[in-house]
Structure 1
Amino acid sequence: MSKRISILHFLSNYIIVLLPIFTLCVMGPTEIYFGNYKELGFTYQEFGWKFLIFSFLITTLLTLILSFLPDKIQKYFLSVIYWIGIAGYLQTMFLNKQLDLMGVSAESYSATRMKTVLNACLWFVLLVLILFFTMYPKTKMHKILSITSGIIFGMQLVGFLSLFPTADEAAFSYPTEELCLDGSEQYTISSKENIILFVLDNFAIDYYTSAVQTYPELTDQLKDFTYYSNADCNYHGTYPSLAHLITGNELDPSLTVDDWLTQCWTNDITNDYFSLLESEDYKVNLYTPVTSILTGTNSLELLDDKINNVTYKSNTRMIDYSKLYKTMLYMSCYRFMPEYFKPAFDVKNETYTSIVSYPENAVQHANYDFYSNLLSTGLTLDNSCNYFTIQHLNGTHEFTTNEFCEYDEQNLSCESTVKGIFTMLNVYIEQLKKLGAYDNSTIIITSDHGTIDRPQMIFFIKEKNETHKMMQETSAPITLNELVPTIVESLGKDYSEFGSSIHDFNDGELRERTVYIRDFDESKPPVPCYDGLRDGKVNSYRVYTYTGGEAEFVNALYGDDVITIPMIDSYF
């Protein structure tokens, strides 16, 4: 009889210990994976079953250790473990409203002081209430804790099992033939003519001006460039901005993500643009780590007749398992933890995009990786054709770079990241000059967007054979709508079909411009994510119209004159 009671006691302890471990190490990573597997790029087998086995083993070990503790100490330990399990479950299920997991927000996670304090109070109150139960007789406490733990575990187990039938084959096996962007020519330029477009993600004008104050010499190597200090992104967010700036196709919120991206690459004006580039003997190479932001759920075949480095992904796949396990656990902790601790587990987007790599097709996206490869391999010349190279780099999406463009956890800031980026750009330009390819190159350094409250972004341009004694600056009110026409203009062609060039606007000119900023509007129904795997984190666009510069935009942002346009579905 005593042996039977001992087994029941062990199982009672086991289910209490299992709850937080299962939530944190199994349910959390699995939910995150099945909601994002098309972006993560690896299969569930790479980590899922290992996490499941580990969770039950560690629960068994901890429960055995608890069994040898004195009853009073054991009771308090179980109460704290139960508190972590219940509070973490409530945090994950009910308190993480619109929490960004996959780099939706460019800035690192932060919560308001009030939200952090209230959240901490909730966790503390739960702890006090649970410890209060320790005053009850031991058997009654065990019954309450084990039954409620068992109920919540059962609910999670049902949810866990339901995730598998709803996922498609891509979650469990790698495709035999899959298109990708080939990175083998990322450092190749033409000995004839070049258009080189650097798209530095999330590079707001404010970041640039702040860095110049710290590093006055920041742009000394850009003396032949013109800096546009009043440049507008049109759309905040890499979606839809990246597809817009590459194709020139303006957003149509009445279309789904897939339909709009299809329109971007197949409309008549875009076809004419890429046909013109081809007729001028330009090879167009695009380098970005996540192609779904340009295609949605469509195949890269959508780009195949326009972007030249679309190829079949090599079978040589490398997985950084240490980064994989750490990333999935960190993302789960990020959901699970109270607000105060979330910043410590906020995974940077360049981390999860670099878990899987294809050495034969590798595309460098992190600033420091791009720079390191630039130093080691250098630029090479090709005399077979002209090159149009689009480098989409991480920019200031996170502050991950020191002033020497190295990853250095001790010396990371906005200013050091910007300085590191310009260190990288300066070396790139120096290598162009050494190869004799600088003068024949049109070089544009810009971004897809700024920050949500400061969406204006950097824009520098040096055209072919342009020289100055020092960098020029203009407040001409340009937008990314003018990028494609400006490129056409640089070819010496009539650009009227494509819109206005940046040269059609003058320094100090007033111009009405419009910015779309994604939002979750509680008065509107939620929308699905474009991939059908989860609900969208946003459901509408806030549309602001302003005349002037950044100050006038800020006035519009905090004013009442805003139009809200519902989404059909959401990329994020």
Structure 2
Amino acid sequence: MERNMVIILLFFALLAFLSTGIWIVVEKKADRCSSAMQWVRTGIFFFHGFYFAASAVKYLIGNWEDTLLESFWDMGIHTFVHYGAPLAAAAVLFPVAVSLVFRGKCVQFITLLNQYVFFGVFLLLLSNGKINNKTFTWFYAAGIVLSVLFAVFYKKDTTFANGRECRKNVLGFLPVIGSWIVMNGIFLPNELYLTNMDEFKNAYAGFFGSLLLGAIVLGGIAVILAAAVLTVRSFHLFKLLLFGIVLMNYLQYILLNGKLDLLDGNEQKWSAASMAVNLGLWIAIIAAVIALGIKKGRIIRVYNGICLYIILIQLVTLGVMCLTTELDNASYRAGLTDEYSLELSGGNNILVFILDNFDNRWFQELKAEDPEFVAPLNDFCFYDNATSQFAHTSTAIPYLLTGVAWSEEMGELYGRTAYENSDFLHDLRECGFDVGIYTHGGYLTEKEYGDISNYSEEIKRTSNVFNTISTMWKCSMYKTLPFALKDSYMYYTDEINGMTQAQGQWDIDNDFPFYESLIGEGLSVNDAYENAFRFYHMRGAHAPYYMSADLKFDKSGREVSREEQERGCLRIVYEYLEQLKALDLYDSATIIITADHGNGVSYTSGEQRPETVSMPVLLVKEAYQTSDEMQVLHAPVTQGEILPTIIRAAGGDSAAYGACLDEIPIDAKRERSYVSIYKNYIIQYTINGDANDINSWKTKKADFK
């Protein structure tokens, strides 16, 4: 993707250079000589003109939701044949046409359109994070019309700063652009890293170096473009606008955000009133900043002083954080590999598939709509009244690997406490099982590593500079923009993980490497194993959705629905089951298909119950269990019964872990619990009765920091 982006932009730059050269020749022949700086402005004009042409074509052929660069993600040689020749012809004709049509107004038209594009692209990127082909096409077309009208009817000359004045303007601009970049490109990303080091797989030196490079490049581009294309008045206006944004970024982050929810792929909701008040405050303060500073004077010194204060306080804070934090993030070298993931035993195999976020109700819908699709699971028992203990993966995975129930004394430290009080993985080893745990390494603690065959402390990682810069800016914008714009900057753990690339590491955010290995290498029997336990944590039905029902990957995540991804992840499981059968291992295997949790629930203060229920899919095939059709069991089970079921299948003492799934009576009267834990809250729910019925759910307690 990054390579294609660079190639496309360089291609447009080459076309713009060619067009500018032709334009200069045409203008000189018409005795309309211009300065070298005007040549630069003209080159910029042709560059965004070619971008518009390509974007319009992509829009017309149906790629309207993608940005231009996204729509070229699968670019090949054929792309240059289809687009290169027409654009090359346009590069020759375009400058001649512009010069002939506008004649003496040509420079003014270019100046006006450049400024329109500069301000418009900045504001569109700020508000949306990116500009899709449809938006850019209509935005640019409107700009052409407006620029033509102004060029015809606007009589005043456009004035650019001369060399000395330009240097003075740039120096005055540095505090403003510097504070914006230091805040969003340096301080906030580093703060996020240093307070969540276990979540990052970058070495700190590489992480900081990438951000510093991004800050220098972005700052340099902003200064050069502003100085090149903006007139004296426009330059001053942009400086005031950017200062207003910087001021509100700072206030939003420090004062106005309140408590931001966990970013788990679902949008956080704010009331319409909250968004309106917040956005109104932004508009009012930015308008006041511009109104007070439009005539320059001493107020500009105050603005610059505020910017320098923001830079100083954040750099000092960052320095203190670096001095008080152990920067050798050893965790970036450690992790769970995909080694042995396709190797099974010729004896007893226990296989657990965790399809992240796959809700029980979604499987019920799929089963009702398309019974044939779920026919490969006819040997399984489907528990349609199952509940999970937790709402989020970070606590759900430790629970599924320990079986330790949560208590209020544990608070947010559940994961470590659970592993300290469970020997489940060790007990499996004692039963003669090779244990492979394929999930994110951060969901385990050091205690388990000795019992896991696929743990490594020497994973080789390479940093992706572009992904690091873009993802960290996205994280910063989420924190510093008004509520109404935050949805455009939602990010998920796969984007954080995508800042590095590691060969052989298990990826819970992308099921395609697992599927490709399954198809390419296939399952095999390792005679060194007496028995094998495999725990596969897959993306499952978690948003955003990248995998289609026919196992095709859509990078944009816009063409794939949740229903398609559900089918896609199940097809991977089906392929695995078919290969088990081919190895004659299916009948003797114990197979559990579940989710770490169901779809998230929303808590509303004062309400007695959540807005929706949340239930994980749960299907179980015990060894030598067969059936002509899927059995549906309505017993009120929980994921707490999964570990006893596994230990029983392994030949261990299941009673030490509790009742097995098939030991829970269908008419059992039991209170089940569901807990949502994140950094700033713990919300507890109880379920009495059918978990499918919202009336069975009740809010027990909600604690907020």
Q: Specify the TM-score bucket, using the shorter chain as the normaliser.
A: 0.7 to 0.9
Alignment CA distance shift 1:122-1:513 (3 Å): same
Q: With the length of structure 1 as denominator, give the TM-score of the two structures.
A: 0.83
Question: Which residue does the alignment assign to 1:278?
Answer: 429
Instruction: State the Cα distance separating 1:303 from its structure 2 match.
Output: 1.0
Q: Counterpart of 1:389?
A: 534
* 1:5-20 matched pairs, under 5 angstroms: 10-20=170-180
Letter in 1 for 2:204: Y
Larger radius of gyration: 2
1:162 alignment partner, SS class: helix
In the alignment, what sits opposite 1:40? 200
Preserved CA contact (<8 Å) 1:445 1:459: yes
Q: In 2 relative to 1, CA 211–41 (structure 1 residues): closer, same or farther, beyond 3 Å?
A: same
CA distance in 1, matches of 2:331, 2:560: 38
Per-residue deviation, residues 153-210 of structure 1 (Å, max 9, x unmatched): 3322322322211220324xx579x653332111222222210011222222233334
The one of 687, 694, 705 aligned to 1:546? 687
CA 1:104–1:7 in structure 2 vs 1: closer, same or farther (change >3 Å)? Answer: closer
Q: TM-score, normalised by structure 2?
A: 0.69
Alignment of 1:85 onto 2:230: no
Whole-Å Cα distance in 2 between the matches of residues 262 and 57 of structure 1?
42
Partner of 1:402: 548
**Secondary structure in 2 matching 1:139:** coil
CA distance in 2, matches of 1:280, 1:231: 28
| CA displacement, residues 312-362 of structure 1 (integer Å, 9 cap, x when unaligned) | 324x33333332232222222222333333223222212322433442555
| 8 Å Cα contact 2:425-2:448 kept in structure 1 | no
Classify 1:396/1:497 alpha carbon distance in 2 versus 1 (closer, same or farther; 3 Å).
Answer: same
Moved more, 208-217 or 453-462: 208-217
Which residue does 2:418 correspond to in 1? Answer: 264
Deviation sequence 1:466-523 (CA, Å, 0-9, x none) = 111111111110011111111123245552222111111233544321222226xxxx
Superposed, 1:437-448 pairs within 5 Å as 437-448=585-596
* 2:486 is aligned with 1:347: no
- Residue of structure 2 in register with 1:563 after alignment: 701
Higher alpha-carbon deviation: 325-334 or 355-364: 355-364
Q: Which runs of 5+ in 1 are unaligned?
A: 520-536, 568-572
1:487 maps to: 646
Q: Which amino acid aligns with 2:310?
A: I
RMSD of the alignment, in Å?
3.0
Give the distance between the partners of 2:313 and 2:483, measured in 1 at CA. 25
In structure 2, the residue matched to 1:145 is 303
Contact 1:211 1:416 in 2 (8 A): no
Q: Residue 349 and residue 175 in structure 1: after superposition, are their counterparts in 2 closer, same or farther (change >3 A)?
A: closer
Tell me the amino acid that sits aligned with residue 538 of structure 1: N
1:234 aligned partner: 389
Deviation at 1:363, TM superposition (A): 5.1
CA offsets per residue over residues 236-267 of structure 1, 9 Å max, x none? 22232211221222224324766x54553454
Select the residue among 302, 312, 316 that pairs with 2:457: 312
Contact 1:106 1:451 in 2 (8 A): no
Structure 1 residue 322 corresponds to structure 2 residue 466: yes
TM-superposed CA distance for 1:7, in Å, is: 6.5
Aligned pair in 2 of structure 1 residues 565, 280: CA closer, same or farther (>3 Å)?
A: same
Q: What SS does structure 1 have at the residue aligned with 2:297?
A: helix
Indicate conservation of the 8 Å contact 1:367/1:394, yes or no: yes
Which digits, 9 at most, give the CA deviation of each residue in 1:197-241, with x for residues without a partner? 112222222333344466554412101111001111122222322
Residues 194/112 of structure 1: CA separation in 2 closer, same or farther (3 Å cut): farther
1:129 equivalent in alignment to 2:282: no
CA 412–343 in structure 1, closer or farther in 2 if over 3 Å, else same: farther
The answer (yes or no) to whether the contact 2:645–2:654 under 8 Å persists in 1 is yes
Once the two structures are superposed, the pairs formed by residues 287-436 of structure 1 within 5 Å of their partners are 287-289=438-440, 291-295=441-445, 300=446, 302-314=447-459, 316-362=460-506, 365-384=509-528, 385-400=530-545, 401-408=547-554, 409-436=557-584
Higher relative contact order (CA 8 A, sep 6+): 1
TM-fit CA distance, 1:77: 1.5
1:224 to 368, 379, 388: 379
| SS in structure 1 of the partner of residue 404 of structure 2 | coil
Q: 2:191 aligns with which of 31, 54, 60?
A: 31
For 1:104 and 1:65, locate their aligned partners in 2 and report how far apart those are by CA, in whole Å: 34
Say which of 317, 321, 340 aligns to 1:159: 317
SS of the residue 1:91 aligns to: helix
Mean Cα deviation higher: 490-499 or 57-66? 57-66
Shift of 1:390: 0.5
Aligned pair in 2 of structure 1 residues 318, 482: CA closer, same or farther (>3 Å)? same
Which aligned pairs between 1:205-224 and structure 2 lie closer than 5 A?
205-212=360-367, 215-224=370-379
Deviation at 1:111, TM superposition (A): 3.9
Whole-Å Cα distance in 1 between the matches of residues 544 and 370 of structure 2?
16
Q: Which amino acid aligns with 1:280?
A: C
1:116 to 2:280 alignment: no
